[in-house]
């Protein structure tokens, strides 16, 4: 799955990852994918709620550990 836009929000906490994603999505075409990398564990719930509220499709969420730090990847499809 290749995202047209990638957003690095590592080190940012709620609500900044969501706000940055909202801004990025506003400049994208319908159907394009946005990949957001975050370190805030609350971003998992936040992006689920954001997708429900905005009508954008949350197509994937993954958690991994890179260098001892948790990372969360969220992929949204622009409505």
Report the distance separating Cα 73 and Cα 60, nearest Å. 8
- The helix-helix angle for 16-26 and 43-54 (nearest 10°) equals 40
Task: Choose, from 12, 14, 44, 73, the residue flagged as catalytic.
Answer: 14
The values of phi and psi at residue 26, to 5°, are -65, -25
Active site includes 14? yes
Which residues are designated catalytic?
14
């Amino acid at each position: 799955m290749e995202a047209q836009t990638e957003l690095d929000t590592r080190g940012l906490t709620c609500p900044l990852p969501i706000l940055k994603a909202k801004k990025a999505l506003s400049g994208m075409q319908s159907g394009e994918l946005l990949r957001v990398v975050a370190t805030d564990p609350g971003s998992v719930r936040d992006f689920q709620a954001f997708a429900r509220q905005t009508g954008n499709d949350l197509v994937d969420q993954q958690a991994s550990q890179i260098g001892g730090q948790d990372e969360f990847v969220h992929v949204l499809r622009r409505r």
